[in-house]
């Protein structure tokens, strides 16, 4: 693969929460990898801001440690890390007070892109946005990056949007959903809109149903307090799975430009029907002999929060009328797997007879692991013995097909941070999209509460609750995509 690096001018990036988990695991390693690739120009500055008592050297030690631990072993020339660290600075600052803001203001250079990455808890978003404004740091070159969760429900998302809108134009606000930065997710658009092969078939006439699975083996970890207030619906479905659904289902945008793409995604969300209660399954994982169950893990013995959710959605528009979309996501499942399966209808008539075998065509788009695409097609079983049909996968792993040997594809954060610097919002959520997603999600959650519903237990490291299988089987279908 020829690696194309689009140059950008030197920039200032302030990471509020620069000492936190996300900064250490994702943001800093992503910047380093882009620096190794030659895309972060010399003279740029990466400024960590947090309350911790650190000086520049102390922060550089933390940055170096994070790079060694999390940058994925990217081979760089000798001395690269030392040169990268020369761009790093630190300000001890309290986001909800005045400490440190004038120091930060003095560090920011005029006449260059300045991006403020809010890698802190959402309670601080409003404070930081306001102080960036009152300290005179907002100009045409200013961008603000906001992490998930973007609100807890429609009301809080509207309030947050309103707060940000007091200080920034929508074109300056970058709401991150890191799923949109994944190579395969963009490939989804390339496959759909770059080939004549698929788009004519991409509708209810030819597609039987679509499945979107985001399965995790990991548990809640240290996020128990947040997660128990959120659950799988708010933590994953309302954002990541909803974004994947939008990209799969949207009409072709006129251009691959921010508002063209986001207008089409918004139309999908607005066309979603309310979900029938019997079309949703919630689950909560049990403990094993060695590991705690969900309730023990979050320290809430009567928690009714779901660690798993599966649902059947319908999009009421011309293209998708009658084609169900099955979405599921959960924690502590048997395998880590994010995959979209587009299951096509059977051929209208089999000239080989009903006993010949064969199966429906399925286009599988794997987001992780092993990003790639598989097309399941029917061929003749080799050898004598009449015409027997078999289903074979035409498989393309992106790493094998496109990647230089031994090099990982760029991480989602690498792409998204550089898009912020370039000023390209295509892969970021617009405020109205986020609100529409909450408007669809809120009644589902309110319905659970009103009916006093309790999630179904499921075995840790299984495929999830059995009721989720029934959700499919009732329709004569099967889940595909979680393989141990």
Residues that bind ligand NAP (CB under 6 A): 16-23, 50-52, 93-96, 119-122, 124, 147-149
From the CB of 93, what's the least distance to ligand NAP, in Å?
6
Residue 461 gets the label, from left (phi > 0), alpha (psi -120 to 50) or beta, of left
In the complex with ligand NAP, the residue whose CB is nearer, 24 or 463, is 24
- 394: tokens are 């035409």
Q: Are 360 and 343 in contact (CB under 8 A)?
A: yes
In the complex with ligand NAP, the residue whose CB is nearer, 17 or 324, is 17
Helix axes 56-70, 28-36, angle to 10 degrees: 80
Q: How many helices (H) and strands (E) does the chain have?
A: 16, 15
From the CB of 254, what's the least distance to ligand NAP, in Å?
32
- Distance in angstroms (rounded) separating the CA atoms of residues 434 and 211: 22
From the CB of 18, what's the least distance to ligand NAP, in Å?
6
In the complex with ligand NAP, the residue whose CB is nearer, 105 or 317, is 105
Instruction: Identify the DSSP state of 437.
Output: H
In the complex with ligand NAP, the residue whose CB is nearer, 85 or 236, is 236
- Distance in angstroms (rounded) separating the CA atoms of residues 298 and 337: 24
In the complex with ligand NAP, the residue whose CB is nearer, 198 or 226, is 226
What is residue 268's three-state secondary structure? helix
In the complex with ligand NAP, the residue whose CB is nearer, 19 or 142, is 19
From the CB of 223, what's the least distance to ligand NAP, in Å?
8
From the CB of 48, what's the least distance to ligand NAP, in Å?
8
From the CB of 451, what's the least distance to ligand NAP, in Å?
29
In the complex with ligand NAP, the residue whose CB is nearer, 227 or 294, is 227
- Closest residue to ligand NAP, Cβ-based? 20
- Neighbouring CB atoms inside 10 A of 290's CB total 6
- Distance in angstroms (rounded) separating the CA atoms of residues 365 and 342: 8
In the complex with ligand NAP, the residue whose CB is nearer, 150 or 294, is 150
- Distance in angstroms (rounded) separating the CA atoms of residues 16 and 148: 14
H or E segment and range at residue 5: none
Catalytic residue selected from 178, 240, 279, 376: 240
Task: Kindly report the backbone phi and psi dihedral angles of residue 474, in degrees, each rounded to the nearest multiple of 5, phi listed first.
Answer: -55, -30
- Distance in angstroms (rounded) separating the CA atoms of residues 90 and 63: 11
Query: Listing from the earlier edge strand, what are the strands of the sheet with 12-16?
Result: 88-92, 45-50, 12-16, 114-118, 142-146, 173-175
- In 423-472, DSSP assigns E strands to 456-458
- 195: tokens are 């080939």
Task: Kindly report the backbone phi and psi dihedral angles of residue 62, in degrees, each rounded to the nearest multiple of 5, phi listed first.
Answer: -65, -40
- Distance in angstroms (rounded) separating the CA atoms of residues 239 and 434: 8
- Distance in angstroms (rounded) separating the CA atoms of residues 164 and 5: 32
Residue 193's Cβ-count burial label (10 Å; 0-12, 13-18, 19+) is middle
From the CB of 132, what's the least distance to ligand NAP, in Å?
13
Concerning whether 240 is annotated as a catalytic residue, the answer is yes
From the CB of 330, what's the least distance to ligand NAP, in Å?
17
Active site residues: 240
């Amino acid at each position: 693969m020829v690696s194309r690096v689009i140059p950008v001018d030197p920039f200032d990036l302030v990471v509020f929460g620069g000492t936190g988990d996300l900064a250490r695991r994702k943001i800093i390693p992503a910047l380093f990898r882009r620096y190794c690739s030659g895309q972060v120009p010399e003279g740029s500055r990466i400024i960590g801001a947090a309350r911790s008592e650190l000086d520049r050297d102390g922060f550089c030690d933390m940055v170096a440690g994070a790079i060694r631990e999390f940058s994925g072993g990217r081979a760089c020339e000798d001395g690269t890390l030392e040169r990268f660290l020369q761009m790093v600075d630190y300000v001890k600052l309290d986001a909800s007070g005045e400490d440190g803001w004038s120091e930060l203001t003095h560090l920011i250079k005029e006449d260059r892109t300045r991006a403020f990455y809010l890698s802190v808890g959402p309670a601080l978003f409003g404070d930081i946005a306001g102080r960036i404004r009152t300290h005179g740091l907002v100009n045409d070159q200013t961008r603000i990056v906001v992490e998930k969760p973007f609100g807890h429900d429609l009301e809080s998302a509207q309030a947050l949007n309103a707060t940000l809108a007091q200080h920034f134009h929508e074109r300056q606000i970058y709401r991150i959903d890191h799923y949109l930065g994944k190579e395969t997710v963009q490939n989804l658009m390339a496959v759909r809109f770059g080939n004549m092969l698929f788009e004519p078939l991409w509708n209810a006439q030819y597609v039987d149903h679509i499945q979107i699975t985001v399965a995790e083996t990991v548990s809640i970890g240290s996020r128990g307090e947040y997660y128990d207030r959120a659950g799988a619906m708010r933590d994953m479905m309302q954002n990541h799975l909803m974004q994947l659904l939008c990209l799969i289902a949207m009409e072709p945008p006129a251009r691959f430009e921010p508002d063209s793409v986001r207008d089409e995604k918004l139309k999908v969300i607005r066309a979603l029907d309310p979900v029938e209660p019997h079309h949703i399954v919630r689950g909560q994982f049990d403990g094993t002999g060695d590991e705690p169950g969900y309730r023990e893990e979050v320290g809430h013995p009567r928690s009714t929060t779901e660690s798993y959710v599966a649902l059947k959605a319908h999009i009421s528009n011309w293209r998708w009328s009658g084609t169900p979309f099955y979405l599921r996501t959960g924690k502590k499942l048997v395998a880590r797997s994010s995959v979209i399966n587009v299951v096509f209808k059977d051929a209208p008539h089999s000239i080989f007879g009903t006993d010949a075998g064969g199966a429906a065509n399925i286009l599988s788009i794997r987001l992780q692991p092993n990003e790639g695409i598989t097309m399941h097609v029917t061929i003749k079983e080799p050898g004598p013995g009449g015409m027997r049909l078999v289903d074979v996968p035409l498989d393309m792993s992106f790493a094998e097909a496109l990647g230089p040997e031994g090099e990982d594809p760029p991480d989602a954060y690498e792409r998204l941070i550089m898009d912020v610097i370039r000023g390209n919002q295509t892969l970021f959520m617009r405020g109205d999209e986020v609100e529409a997603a909450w408007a669809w999600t809120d009644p589902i959650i309110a319905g659970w509460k009103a009916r006093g519903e309790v999630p179904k237990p499921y075995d840790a490291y299984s495929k999830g609750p059995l009721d989720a299988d029934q959700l499919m089987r009732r329709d004569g279908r099967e889940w595909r995509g979680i393989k141990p």
